[in-house]
């Protein structure tokens, strides 16, 4: 037996570290997936809003005739990146 793997405490420490590493990896994957889905939804909503605003500005004389946001499936209106 080698000097490191010969002690039970070293074996336990290695197993505990591997378990912790797996837990941290799984938690990180969960958080990243959750944030990605949230950002994708926000980006899609913002894209819809900007396309509607652009179409309305091009399609009307003054560009100020907007339907209610609920009618086009949006909850909020954010212009020029202000949040």
What pLDDT was estimated at residue 66? Answer: 64
What pLDDT was estimated at residue 74? Answer: 61
CA distance 35 to 38: 5
State the burial class of residue 56 (Cβ atoms within 10 Å of its Cβ: 0-12, 13-18, 19+).
middle
pTM, two decimals, is 0.51
What pLDDT was estimated at residue 1? Answer: 47
What pLDDT was estimated at residue 5? Answer: 54
Which parts of the chain register pLDDT below 50?
A: 1, 82-83
What pLDDT was estimated at residue 83? Answer: 47
What pLDDT was estimated at residue 2? Answer: 54
């Amino acid at each position: 037996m080698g000097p490191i793997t010969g002690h039970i405490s070293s074996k336990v420490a290695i197993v505990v570290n591997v378990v912790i590493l797996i837990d941290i990896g799984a938690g990180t994957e969960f958080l990243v997936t959750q944030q990605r889905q949230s950002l994708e939804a926000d980006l899609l909503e913002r894209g819809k809003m900007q396309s509607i605003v652009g179409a309305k500005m091009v399609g009307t004389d003054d560009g100020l005739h907007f339907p209610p946001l609920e009618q086009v499936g949006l909850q909020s209106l954010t212009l020029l990146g202000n949040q």
